[in-house]
Amino acid sequence: MSQLVFIVFQDNDDSRYLAEAVMDDNPHAEMQHQPAMIRIQAEKRLVMNRETMEEKLGRDWDVQEMLINVISIGGNVDEDDDHFILEWK
Amino acid sequence: MSVNALYDYKFEAKDKVENFNGMQLLYVYWPNHLMFCAPFALLVQPDMSFRALVDEIIKPATASHPDSAKADFLKAQWLLNDEPFTPNADASLIDNGIDHKSMLTVTTPGLDGMANVGY
Amino acid sequence: MAVQNKKLNLKDKYQYLTRDMGWEPTYQKKKDIFPDEDFEGIKITDWSQWEDPFRLTMDSYWKYQAEKEKKLYAIFDAFAQNNGHQNISDARYVNALKLFLSGVSPLEHAAFQGYAKTGRQFSGTGARVACQMQAIDELRHSQTQQHAMSHYNKHFNGLHDAAHMHDRVWFLSVPKSFFDDARTAGPFEFLTAISFSFEYVLTNLLFVPFMSGAAYNGDMATVTFGFSAQSDEARHMTLGLEVIKFILEQHEDNVPIVQRWIDKWFWRGFRLLSLVSMMMDYMLPNKVMSWSEAWEVYYEQNGGALFKDLERYGIRPPKYQEVANDAKHHLSHQLWTTFYQYSQATNFHTWIPEKEEMDWMSEKYPDTFDKYYRPRYEHLAKEAAAGRRFYNNTLPQLCQVCQVPTLFTEMGAPTKLSHRQLKYEGERYHFCSEACCEIFEHEPEKYIQAWLPVHQIYQGNCEGADVETVVQKYYHINIGEDNFEYLGSPDHKRWLSIKGLKPADEKKDAA
């Protein structure tokens, strides 16, 4: 059986960078646009990297900043200063 | 099974018959007539006759359904609390064994609701 | 130059907050300080294993929450200043907000109270901190929702006394009793009920597709509070999953207790969300996603992944999951026709869906809509056209546990009600389903006290014996304004006036 993890962002300016960064770092992920939101799902695991985000934004970025724009997640969370990881083990 | 509590957990049932001022609750379900979304919850006198229940309460309650006018509820098939039941039309509800919070299910053969889907 | 203090990393900061701020009591017994921690039978051997994967500390919490609020209120202001209510898809949509404000927002407040109380009961610091943050979040949700909808209250009926209605109106006893059930349980059951079963497994169905639908219907204010609340929810959901894993890892004896709670609270939540099913399919004039599609994505798919993950702890999917999955083809239609016939006693309007909407439902529900439900609307439309708009003039039987009228049908037999009954200590009790009946059998002492609105009316506790008096005086629903059919209602007339579709006798457009 497929085990998808997912993350949903509000569709706003910050999230467009977030979504871009997630898609760059997770080639197996799939992005869906729905009214006012962006949903990204992937088999088993999604990683968000601070480094990729900082490159996209051209500024320092704190992983916890994503708390402002995220709507929902599915999967076990592991977060530290450099990553936000969603996974089913 | 029993509730897991911090103390001896014992409370009265909220809907005991004593709380209904001499009346009692009765539920009536007319299968295949889902225009009425759920069984009716009725407040009835325990000593009213079964005939009066049908004429004065069930008939008006069901009147908006096209099958209602054709239904002969006294000759229909009844269940009382899921058991087969033959009502005595002139006896009281209580003497018919219809106690507080009982449920009557009445099936009217040939009248199966609208659109062939029991509406 | 002096070397600056190195900035603490996330893990260190969280460690300081949740470990070093806690201490072992010396002059009071721990059992006296946390008296509710054991009675449910949950065994915790080591609280230090508690991990919050977000590792949120108070300084970051305040910082991010403040930022969320600023963004949110900027949008509320813009919405009000631009008369945003005039730009929604159709005024029928506002009825979803009436249900939301009286049914959901008070639950946010109940959650605030629940987490404040529950957090106090844990001897583990990490759990206390998580509950404290969530309590503040929930209070924020309750407040921001009321702020957002206060704008609609200036222009539409039915939004004027939500908290009062929540405590009294017949169908609002469904959400109210759900939360009361959870709040009167012990702390671990509360977390399993709300953090896990409700937040993690089910609330996506309300806050993601429904809110996306609000955006699609032009309601900027609602989608914004919805998503702002949901941004906290992502944290709550994570907590929900961590709570379950933590309890299960602590002791194998916890597994059967937690399993029973999951079975119970999945079902309680599913019954509560039946209200959301009709909000999605019927109360959003512009459709985004059907209830059945939302159920597939947010329960079958996500729930499937989740319960597969929990298999390693010996947890199986909720016992009555198959019944819930089957019901996705019927739920919204059965609920809407119920509210349609009892609109005389609701603070919102109902209506027959328009032709395009019914065609959409035929497409989304190919196996059920045309066969079972379209004929209902055809009949109701005929009756309404003949001046006999259908209202059910009797009161419905309610389920002793979920308090929804016993309207649901058997799995695989959509014309047969799934009624159950039993006798307990000489009293008869009635249920909407096997699952609700089983919940009662586990804790009959609790559910025999249920405040069932229909029975309360019949006992004479609601200020009157006839529906009209109860509705007006006891519920504070203004007859002829808030209730009945949408077509021809004051809201409908006001909307036509806003849209310039009839003489603008009460036009409120901004200059």
- Residue C11 one-letter amino acid: K
Mutate to test the interface with C, among B4, B30, B79 (most CBs of C within 10 A): B4
B87/B72 Cα distance (integer angstroms)? 13
CB C471 within 8 A of CB C433: no
Question: Residue C73 CB: number of other CB atoms within 10 A?
Answer: 16
C215 to A72: CB separation less than 8 angstroms, yes or no:
no
C415 to B3: CB separation less than 8 angstroms, yes or no:
no
In a domain, B19, yes or no: no
Q: Which chains touch A (3 or more CB pairs under 8 A)?
A: C
Q: Which residue has the higher pLDDT, A60 or C6?
A: A60
Query: What is the total residue count of chain A?
Result: 89
Q: Count H helices, E strands: chain C?
A: 24, 5
Q: What is the CATH number of domain C50-351+390-499?
A: 1.10.620.20
C242/C249 Cα distance (integer angstroms)? 10
- Residue C403 one-letter amino acid: Q
Mean pLDDT (whole number) for B7-29: 97
B83/B78 Cα distance (integer angstroms)? 8
Residue C509 has a pLDDT of 44
Q: Which residue from A minimizes the CA distance to C233?
A: A72
Q: Which residue from B minimizes the CA distance to C375?
A: B115
Q: The domain that contains A19 carries what CATH number?
A: 3.90.56.10
B72/B63 Cα distance (integer angstroms)? 13
C64 to A5: CB separation less than 8 angstroms, yes or no:
no
Residues of C in contact with A75 (CB under 8 A): 305
A52/C42 Cα distance (integer angstroms)? 43
End-to-end CA, chain C? 63
DSSP C209-246: IIHHHHHHTT-HHHHHHHHHHHHHHHHHHHHHHHHHHH
C427 to B4: CB separation less than 8 angstroms, yes or no:
no
C443 to B3: CB separation less than 8 angstroms, yes or no:
yes
Boundaries of domain holding A55: 2-85
Model confidence at B82: pLDDT above 60 = yes
pTM over 0.90: yes
CB C192 within 8 A of CB C42: no
| Secondary structure (H, E, C), C280-318 | HHHCCCCCCCCHHHHHHHHHHHHHHHHHHHHHHHCCCCC
Nearest CA-CA distance, residue A58 and chain C, Å: 21
B4 to C417: CB separation less than 8 angstroms, yes or no:
no
C456/C172 Cα distance (integer angstroms)? 14
Give me C418's structure tokens: 């799934």
Give me C23's structure tokens: 């201490």
Average pLDDT, chain B: 97
Please give the C-alpha separations between residue C210 and each of A36, C273, C285, in angstroms, as whole numbers: 11, 12, 12
Residue C77 has a pLDDT of 93
The model's pLDDT over A9-47, given as tens digits with 9 standing for 90+, comes to: 999 998 999 999 999 999 999 999 999 999 999 999 999
Mutate to test the interface with A, among C15, C227, C293 (most CBs of A within 10 A): C227
Boundaries of domain holding B32: 27-107
Residue C5 has a pLDDT of 61
> Could you identify the residue written with the tokens 């509820």?
B73
C235 to A67: CB separation less than 8 angstroms, yes or no:
yes
C271/C318 Cα distance (integer angstroms)? 14
C145/C149 Cα distance (integer angstroms)? 6
Residues 124-153 of C with CB under 8 A from B: none
Residues 390-449 of C with CB under 8 A from B: 390, 392-398, 405-407, 414-417, 419, 421, 425, 427-430, 441-446, 448-449
As a dihedral over the C-alpha atoms of residue C354, residue C356, residue C360, residue C361, rounded to 10 degrees, the angle is 30
The DSSP bridge pattern shows strands C409-410 and C413-417 to be antiparallel
Average pLDDT, chain A: 94
Residue C25, Cα to own-chain centre: how many angstroms?
Answer: 39
DSSP C480-505: TTTSSBSTTSHHHHHHHHHTTSS--T
C207 to A81: CB separation less than 8 angstroms, yes or no:
no
Nearest CA among C234, C199, C200, C232 for reference residue C61: C232
Q: How many structural domains compose chain B? A: 1
Q: Which residue has the higher pLDDT, C9 or A53?
A: A53
Model confidence at B100: pLDDT above 50 = yes
Q: How many CB pairs under 8 A join B and C?
A: 149
pLDDT in tens, chain C (511 residues): 455 567 788 888 888 888 767 888 999 999 999 999 999 999 999 998 988 888 888 889 999 999 999 999 999 999 999 999 999 999 999 999 999 999 999 999 999 999 999 999 999 988 999 999 999 999 999 999 999 999 999 999 999 999 999 999 999 999 999 999 999 999 999 999 999 999 888 888 988 899 999 999 999 888 888 888 888 988 898 889 999 999 999 999 999 999 999 999 999 999 999 999 999 999 999 999 999 999 999 999 999 999 999 999 999 999 999 999 999 999 999 999 999 999 999 999 999 999 999 999 999 999 999 999 999 999 999 999 999 999 999 999 999 999 999 999 999 999 999 999 999 999 999 999 999 999 999 999 999 999 999 999 999 999 998 999 999 999 999 999 999 999 999 999 999 999 998 744 444 443 3
C362/C367 Cα distance (integer angstroms)? 8
Question: Residue C303 CB: number of other CB atoms within 10 A?
Answer: 22
DSSP chain B: -----SS------TT-GGGGTT-EEEEEE-TT-TTS-SPEEEEE-TTSBHHHIIIIIIHHHHTTSTTTTT--GGGSEEEETTEEE---TTSBTTTTT--TTEEEEEE-TT---STTTT-
Q: Which chains touch B (3 or more CB pairs under 8 A)?
A: C
A72 to C306: CB separation less than 8 angstroms, yes or no:
no
Give me A72's structure tokens: 């929902």
Helix axis angle, C58-81 to C125-153, nearest 10°: 10
C509/C499 Cα distance (integer angstroms)? 10
In a domain, B83, yes or no: yes
Give the number of C-alpha atoms closer than 13 A to the C-alpha of residue A7, restricted to the C-beta side.
28
Residue C2 has a pLDDT of 53
Q: The domain that contains B91 carries what CATH number?
A: 3.10.20.560
CB A87 within 8 A of CB A45: yes
Nearest CA-CA distance, residue B4 and chain C, Å: 6
B100 to C450: CB separation less than 8 angstroms, yes or no:
no
C337 to B15: CB separation less than 8 angstroms, yes or no:
no
A2/C308 Cα distance (integer angstroms)? 10
Q: Residues near C253 by Cβ (< 8 Å), separated by ≥ 6?
A: C41, C43
- Residue C115 one-letter amino acid: Y
- The band of B12, judged by pLDDT with boundaries at 50, 70 and 90, is very high
Identity of the residue in C36, C41, C448 whose CB atom sits nearest the CB atom of B6: C36
C101/C158 Cα distance (integer angstroms)? 10
Question: Residue B70 CB: number of other CB atoms within 10 A?
Answer: 10
Chain C residues with CB under 8 Å of a chain A CB are: 9-11, 53-56, 60, 64, 67-68, 71, 204, 207-209, 211-213, 215-216, 223, 227, 230-231, 233-235, 237-238, 241, 288-289, 301-302, 304-306, 308-309
In a domain, B92, yes or no: yes
Mutate to test the interface with B, among C190, C459, C461, C462 (most CBs of B within 10 A): C459
Residue C98 has a pLDDT of 97
C375 to B81: CB separation less than 8 angstroms, yes or no:
no
CB C148 within 8 A of CB C100: no
Residue C260: helix, strand or coil by DSSP? helix
Nearest CA-CA distance, residue B75 and chain C, Å: 22
C211 to A6: CB separation less than 8 angstroms, yes or no:
no
CB C485 within 8 A of CB C346: no
Q: Which residue from C minimizes the CA distance to B3?
A: C443
Per-residue DSSP letter, A83? E
B59/B65 Cα distance (integer angstroms)? 10
Give the angle B90-B95-B101 at the CA atoms, nearest 5°: 110
Q: Which residue from B minimizes the CA distance to C465?
A: B43
A82/A63 Cα distance (integer angstroms)? 7
Q: How many structural domains compose chain A? A: 1
